[in-house]
Amino acid sequence: MADGLVSLPHWMERGRGGEGERGEKLRNQKWGCFTSIRPTDNMRIILTIFFGVLFGFFIGVSFPTLSLTKFNPSSTLLPEADFSNSYGGNIETLVKPVLNATESPHLNDSSKIWAPSNPRGAERLAPRIIAAESDLYLHRLWGNPNEDLTSTPKYLVTFTVGYDQRNNIDAAVKKFSENFTIVLFHYDGWTTEWGEFEWSKRAIHISAPKQTKWWYAKRFLHPDIVAPYDYIFIWDEDLGVENFDAERYIKLVRKHGLEISQPGIESKTRITWKMTKRRDDFEVHKETDEKPGRCPDPHLPPCAAFIEIMAPVFSRDAWRCVWYMLQNDLVHGWGLDFVLRKCVEPADDKIGVVDSQWVVHQSVPSLRNQGEQYEGKSPWRGVRERCLNEWSMFQDRLAHAERAYFSSTRTGPSKLKSL
Ligand SMILES: *[C@@H]1O[C@H](CO)[C@@H](O)[C@H](O)[C@H]1NC(C)=O
Ligand SMILES: *[C@@H]1O[C@H](CO)[C@@H](O)[C@H](O)[C@H]1NC(C)=O
Ligand SMILES: *[C@@H]1O[C@H](CO)[C@@H](O)[C@H](O)[C@H]1NC(C)=O
């Protein structure tokens, strides 16, 4: 059952306790923002990012050996396996032009460069060397870097997972073609075990104990890092994908101009917001009616410009905005769904639900007997209270920020001019 995942900060971890009946009852509603947590070694934080560190390190170590020995006769004088200096080759030929820079008209003193249009902090660099964006493509350690990639996926899908849900994730991943980069955020410390799945080799595994989906997203999906992806799926682990195909989904999203979307939801349990419920008479819907009183304005959430945070899909541009709205400390992401509309214009046209590619919310009650007691409350209650608390904190921050913005513009230059 999960909109997000359970994450208890270490200071909340004070010994395990059972859940009350109330937790039991409430867990069957939308409000449970958790799923199973395997007890894990709390003392360690393991961030397993395969591609970055290894690739960078080995390229650094091996580059001179690879290319220079061919061109530099003096390197043959060095013992073949001389790793006394870690470059293992004739480093002087690489360093010389740098030391001699003042004599070269093309290599002026770099402190004289100041390019204000560069990204902040990089103004001293020649603009043409700036690599401002990256991706999550896996490279090999040898050969010509230009020839490393056999394909360049256009889409990204992330799942925040525990090992218990591996079979569900296995089924889900198979609905995403080779045009997708797959990232798994592991909240339970189990990573190498996923090697049993063939696709796991091409997936990127990032592991940090007991964190939520939005915690990972804020830290590992910076818009500059995921820049090459047209669409980004940031999904929970308990979605049934029998009636879903990612390529077809994207086709529909493009066709209907959806910048922020989710698949229609079928669920055995009650669906909180009618907007997200799959409609079988539509390909895509962008508005709904609701219970009386819920939608004072039919063009605003939860009747329009609204999706939930369980299975969102963002366009590149929308994600660039939404990422900045994610608060570093509000890890559950509650309240986000109501303000996603601030990132696209017109929101009631660019936010919608894809009905003909739909998923089942399985509401896996996997939090049972997990979590920790906190201030005498059952684990379940403690987390739920935090979710709600985060929601109101988020609302407050947003309201304050907008008030500050508008009051500053009111007393700003435009006001003075009119005086
Ligand atoms: C710099 O270049 C000049 C002329 O090419 C050369 O004579 C000199 O040895 C070089 N200095 C160093 C430190 O390599
Ligand atoms: C290097 O400096 C010289 C003299 O200061 C200048 O004339 C030349 O344009 C500079 N070259 C580059 C590439 O900036
Ligand atoms: C992957 O993307 C390419 C280019 O858009 C497309 O032709 C191909 O059909 C896609 N693969 C699948 C399995 O849909």
pLDDT value for 93: 74
Mutate to test the pocket of ligand 2, among 102, 108, 125, 128 (most ligand atoms within 8 A of CB): 108
Ligand number with the minimum distance to the CA of 176: 3
Residues with CB under 6 A from ligand 3: 177, 179, 247
Q: Residue 131 C-alpha to ligand 2 middle, in angstroms? A: 23
* pLDDT mean over 37-59: 47
3-state SS string over the chain?
Answer: CCCCCCCCCHHHCCCCCCCCHHHHHHCCCCCCCCCCCCCCCCCCCCCCCHHHHHHHHHHHHHHHHHHHHHHCHHHHHCCCCCCCCCCCCCCHHHHHHHHCHHHCCCCCCHHHCCCCCCCCCCCCCCHHHCCCCCCCCCCCCCCCHHHCCCCCCCEEEEEEECHHHHHHHHHHHCCCCCCEEEEEEECCCCCHHHHHCHHHHHCEEEECCCCCHHHHHHHHCCCCCCCCCCEEEEECCCEECCCCCHHHHHHHHHHCCCCEEEEEEEECCCCCCHHHECCCCCCEECECCCCCCCCCCCCCCCCECCCCCCCCEEEHHHHHHHHHHCCCCCCCCCCHHHHHHHHCCCHHHHEEEEEEEEEEECCCCCCCCCCCCECCECHHHHHHHHHHHHHHHHHHHHHHHHHHHHHHHHCCHHHHHHC
User: Per residue in 96-116, pLDDT tens?
Assistant: 666 555 555 555 565 588 999
Sign of CA dihedral 29, 30, 33, 34: positive
Pocket test for ligand 1, best of 93, 103, 106 (most atoms within 8 A of CB): 103
Tell me the ligand closest to 107's alpha carbon.
2
Share of the chain above pLDDT 90, in %: 63
The whole-chain average pLDDT of the chain stands at 80
| pLDDT for 265 | 95
pLDDT at residue 49 tops 60 = no
Topology given in CATH for the domain delimited by 10-37+151-262+308-345: Spore Coat Polysaccharide Biosynthesis Protein SpsA; Chain A (3.90.550)
Domain boundaries, the chain: 10-37+151-262+308-345, 62-136
CA dist 295 and 302 (Å) reads 7
Q: Which amino acid type is present at position 186?
A: H
State what percent of residues in the chain have pLDDT above 70. Answer: 71
* Ligand 3 center–CA 178 separation, angstroms: 8
| Beta carbons of 339 and 321 less than 8 angstroms apart | no
Contacts by 348-351 with C-beta closer than 8 Å and gap 24+?
Answer: 348/286, 348/287, 348/299, 348/300, 348/304, 348/305, 349/257, 349/286, 350/257, 350/258, 350/259, 350/260, 350/318, 351/258, 351/259, 351/260, 351/261, 351/286, 351/304, 351/305, 351/306, 351/307
User: What pLDDT band is residue 146 in, cutting at 50, 70 and 90?
Assistant: very high
Pocket of ligand 2 from Cβ distances under 6 Å: 105-106, 108
pLDDT digits (tens, 9 = 90+) for 396-417: 999 999 999 999 987 654 544 4
Model confidence at 274: pLDDT above 70: yes
Beta strands 231-235 and 155-161, pairing class: parallel
pLDDT tens, 114-142?
999 999 999 999 999 999 999 999 999 99
Residue minimizing CA distance to atom 5 of ligand 1: 103
Ligand 3: residue whose CA is nearest its atom 12: 177
List beta partners, residue 402: none
Q: How far apart are CA 327 and CA 397, in angstroms?
A: 10
Kindly give the number of the ligand 3 atom that is closest to the alpha carbon of 177. Answer: 13
**Which ligand 2 atom minimizes the distance to the CA of 106?**
13
Residue 191: pLDDT band by 50, 70, 90 thresholds?
very high
pTM of this structure: 0.74
Q: Which ligand is nearest to the CA of 114?
A: 2
